[in-house]
Amino acid sequence: MENQNRTIAIVCGGDSSEHDVSLRSAQGLYSFFDKQKYNVYVVDVKGTDWHVDLPNGDIAPIDKNDFSFMLDGKRVYFDYAYITIHGAPGENGVMQGYFDLIHLPYSTSGVLVEALTFNKYVLNNYLRSFGVKVADSILLRRGDTYDEQEIEQRIGMPCFVKPAADGSSFGVSKVKNADQLAPALRVAFMESDEVMVESLLQGTEISQGVYKVKGKSVVLPATEVVTNNEFFDYDAKYNGQVKEITPARLSPETAQRVAEETSKIYDLLHVNGIIRVDYIISKDTNGNDVINMLEVNTTPGMTATSFIPQQVKAAGLDMGTVLAEIVENQF
């Protein structure tokens, strides 16, 4: 009898600086998926080169008409796409639009939500309208004129300069005085046509995963991020220059409030699949914890040491089971 397992594409790569990070997430996901239950293939997408990385080291081109490929003389069709592209085109709605057109279910949110969450400035202002606390920021577009002193007065120093649409801390700088703004903006504009100048929030950085499937909401234990670097930059994220503590060292009351905020943000955005919300927990003048949302990541890292797998383990859950729940939720 022919294998009736669903055939899953782990879609990775992409066109941003995060291409190689995405390949690492794909390897993590491949290791997590239950191969008894699913036929799993890694699909590398870069520009117009879309191909399947076959287990024997060969590659097979993807037919973009229906996202299929040839294997041993037979055409293989996918039942589901698990998108783990960090950056364009998998985190900004473009890939989702393609899959919608060919009616292939996928792991992330839809076009609108992905486009919204990919632009940090737009996302912050959307969530602010629902009472979510975010840092003050201004948006600069390539070619805009700006006054460094005005920015310093409005945002304060130190501040962060970051691409409005990107991840993995590529192009992000911590700016300590107005003289450092111009070089920081040049670096950020190498990654994006829109750049945010964002006020600095002092406090504890934490990150929390959440997913919801039919009749079930799972908010994972938060991870506290401790780094000696100026901020949680690329080296801290991917080269081990960080201490990650799961669950985060929060009071029970604050941990509960953060979990409720994470669940609320998931619902406000109508997201799908597993996401990660990053926060800074600061203090008010009375010493009470204040929850500030930093960003929402709809295709979070999935290497063995990434936050989500850490949090799933801390929750006493199994990554293979979690992934199966997310996949089967759409059938």
Give the pLDDT confidence score for residue 214 in this predicted structure. Answer: 92
Start-end of CATH 3.30.470.20 domains in the chain? 115-133+201-328
Give the pLDDT confidence score for residue 235 in this predicted structure. Answer: 53
Give the pLDDT confidence score for residue 165 in this predicted structure. Answer: 80
115-133+201-328 placed in CATH 3.40.390.10: no
Give the pLDDT confidence score for residue 258 in this predicted structure. Answer: 98
Tokens linked to 274? 């597993």
Give the pLDDT confidence score for residue 2 in this predicted structure. Answer: 45
CB 322 within 8 A of CB 274: yes
Pairing between strand 274-283 and 289-297?
antiparallel
pLDDT in tens, the chain (331 residues): 345 799 999 999 999 888 999 999 999 999 999 999 999 999 999 999 999 999 899 999 999 999 999 999 999 999 999 999 998 999 999 999 999 999 999 999 999 999 999 999 999 999 999 999 999 999 999 989 988 889 999 999 999 999 988 655 678 999 998 899 999 999 999 888 999 999 999 999 999 999 999 989 999 999 999 977 665 555 545 555 678 999 999 999 999 999 999 999 999 999 999 999 999 999 999 999 999 999 999 999 999 889 999 999 999 999 999 999 999 999 9
Rounded Cα gap, residues 96 and 201, in angstroms:
33
Start-end of CATH 3.40.50.20 domains in the chain? 6-107
Tokens linked to 324? 């199966």
Architecture of domain 6-107: 3-Layer(aba) Sandwich (3.40)
Give the pLDDT confidence score for residue 307 in this predicted structure. Answer: 95
Give the pLDDT confidence score for residue 198 in this predicted structure. Answer: 94
pTM of the model: 0.90
CATH ID of 137-199, from 3.30.1490.20, 3.40.50.300, 3.40.109.10, 3.30.1130.10:
3.30.1490.20
Start-end of CATH 3.30.1490.20 domains in the chain? 137-199
The 10 Å Cβ neighbour count of residue 1 is 3
Rounded Cα gap, residues 291 and 283, in angstroms:
9
Tokens linked to 2? 């022919």
